[in-house]
Amino acid sequence: MSRWVIRLIILSVIILIAEIYAFQALKTVTKSRVIRWVWLGVSALVYINLIYVIFSTPRSMGQTLQFQYAVGFMLTILIPKAVLILMMFGEDVVRIIQKLISFFMPGETMPLASRRTFVAKLALGLAAIPFAGFIYGIIQGRYNYKVLKYHLEFDDLPEAFDGFTITQITDIHSGSFTNKEKIQYGVDLINEQKSDLMLFTGDIVNNVASEMDDWIDVFKVLKAPYGKFSVLGNHDYGDYVDWEHRVDKIKNFEAVKGIHPKIGFDLLLNEHRYIEKDGQKLALIGVENWGKGFNQAGDLEVATQGVSQNDFKILMSHDPSHWEYKVKKDDFNYQLTLSGHTHGLQMGIEIPGFFKWSPSQYVYKQWAGLYKEFGRYINVNRGFGYHAFPGRVGIWPEITVIELKKATKNV
C-alpha cells in the first residue's frame, strides 16, 4: 500500500470522527430530522464530489478547476465544523472534570442539564461566521482587489529616482480564472496607479501555457513608461503536471516563457537591466525561482554579472524564502526585494496596522506585506489571482505601489 493511500485513509478517519462529533452537537440543538438529513446530505455530497474528482482526474492534467472547487467546498464545510468541534470538546472536558469532582466530593454538584445545549447553540453560531466568510470568499473575495501603497526611504537612492513609483503584481495563476469582467476590473485598477515601472514576480499559470491563451488580450494593455519586467514562479516550470514525455514539459516551459513578451513584459532569467532616468540609473535584477527545499534555479551571481556593489538594486525573486536564506545578509546589498508565492494562504485575519494572522506564517517567516532587516526591505505581495482554494477569506488580492524616496539627512 502506497504512502499516499495510507495518508488518505488516515485523513478520512480523522474527518469521519470530526463529522460524527459535529453531528452530535447538531443533535443537541435540534430534533428536526429535516435539518439533520440536510446536514448529512450536504456533507456527503461534498466528500463524494472530492473523492470523485481526485480519482477521475489524470495527474497529467495537473490541478483543474474542478479540483479547486471540490477543495473549496470541502473547506467551506470543514473549517466551520472545526470551530464547532473545538468548543464542544472544551465543554466535554469541563463535564468530565465536574463529574470527577462529583465522584470524589459527593456533596459538591454543578448544574449540567442546560449548559450543553447553550454551548452547542453558541458553537453553531460562531461556526456560521467562517462558513459565511468562505462563501463570500468564493463568490466575491477573490476579486476584492486592494491597492497597498508604501513610501520607502533610502540613503543611497539616486536623486533622479526620488518619487519614482513601482507597481508590483504577482501570482496571476490564469488557469484559475473564470470571470473576464472581474479580471478586467483588476487590470484596469493596476493601470489606474500610473506607476513609472511595472514588475511581475512570477506564477503566470497554474500548470500549462495554454491557460493564458484567453487572457493575453486582457493583460497586454498594462502600461508603464519605464517598462514592464517579470520573472518566473514555481508553477511556471510545469513541475505539477505528470508529463508523459519530457519533451512535452520542455515545450510547455518555452511556451510559458513566450507568454511574457506577448503581454509586453521583459522576462528576466537570471539577468539584470538598468533603468535610467536623468542620467542616473538603478539596477533591476530578476532571478529564476528559488525556494527552500525545491526548484532552486535562481542564481544571483549570474544575474548580477556587470552590476556594481554600489548600484542601487531592486531584486525580483518569486519565493520570499530566497530573501530569508540567501539575500538579506548578502554583502552585495540588495536594497529592495519583491516577492510573492505565499498568497498569504488566501485565508486569514488582517486588521491593517493592528493585527495580521494566517497559517502561512508558520511556513514562511516573510509571508505577506513589507519587512525590513539589516537595512534592507522585502515586500511579499499577496497575489493577484488564486490557486488551490478558489477564493480568498480575509487575505485579499493585492496590487502593490511603492514610491522610492531619497532619505533626507538631518542637519
Helix boundaries (H) for 105-228: 115-139, 180-192, 216-219
51-65, 144-158, 229-243, range with the lowest pLDDT: 51-65
CA distance 160 to 163: 8
CA distance 380 to 323: 10
Q: Is domain 145-406 annotated with CATH 3.40.640.10?
A: no
The reported pLDDT for the residue numbered 386 is 97
114-118, 221-225, 325-329, 337-341, range with the lowest pLDDT: 114-118
25-34, 260-269, 352-361, range with the lowest pLDDT: 25-34
SS3 label, residue 402: strand
Express each pLDDT in 92-109 by its tens digit: 777 777 777 777 766 555
The reported pLDDT for the residue numbered 108 is 53
Band of pLDDT at residue 2, cut at 50, 70 and 90: low
Q: Stretch 81-88: mean pLDDT, rounded?
A: 86
Express each pLDDT in 204-215 by its tens digit: 999 999 999 999
The reported pLDDT for the residue numbered 165 is 98
The reported pLDDT for the residue numbered 97 is 76
- On whether the CB atoms of residues 79 and 134 are closer than 8 A, the answer is yes
Q: Is the dihedral of CA 250, 325, 342, 60 positive or negative?
A: positive
Q: Stretch 279-308: mean pLDDT, rounded?
A: 95
- Percentage of the chain beyond pLDDT 70 is 96
CA distance 285 to 335: 11
The reported pLDDT for the residue numbered 100 is 76
83-92, 124-133, 276-285, 287-296, range with the lowest pLDDT: 83-92
106-110, 120-124, 163-167, 246-250, range with the lowest pLDDT: 106-110
The reported pLDDT for the residue numbered 19 is 87
CA distance 144 to 180: 14
The reported pLDDT for the residue numbered 284 is 98
Instruction: Tell me the domain boundaries of the chain.
Output: 3-139, 145-406
Task: Please choose, from the candidates 196, 208, 204, the residue with its C-alpha nearest in 3D space to the C-alpha of residue 230.
Answer: 204
Band of pLDDT at residue 342, cut at 50, 70 and 90: very high
Whether 261 has a pLDDT exceeding 90, the answer reads yes
For 1, other C-beta atoms within 10 Å of its C-beta total 6
Residue with cell 448529512: 40
Packing angle, helices 33-56 and 65-104, rounded to 10: 130
122-136, 202-216, 385-399, range with the lowest pLDDT: 122-136
Count CA atoms within 13 Å of residue 312 on its CB side: 19
> What rounded mean pLDDT belongs to the chain?
92
Residue 285 cell numbers, joined: 535584477
Whether 258 has a pLDDT exceeding 70, the answer reads yes
The reported pLDDT for the residue numbered 1 is 57
> Could you write out the DSSP letters of every residue in 221-280?
T---TT-EEE---GGGGTTTS--SSHHHHHHHHHHHHHHHHHTT-EE-SSEEEEEEETTE
Band of pLDDT at residue 267, cut at 50, 70 and 90: very high
Whether 187 has a pLDDT exceeding 70, the answer reads yes
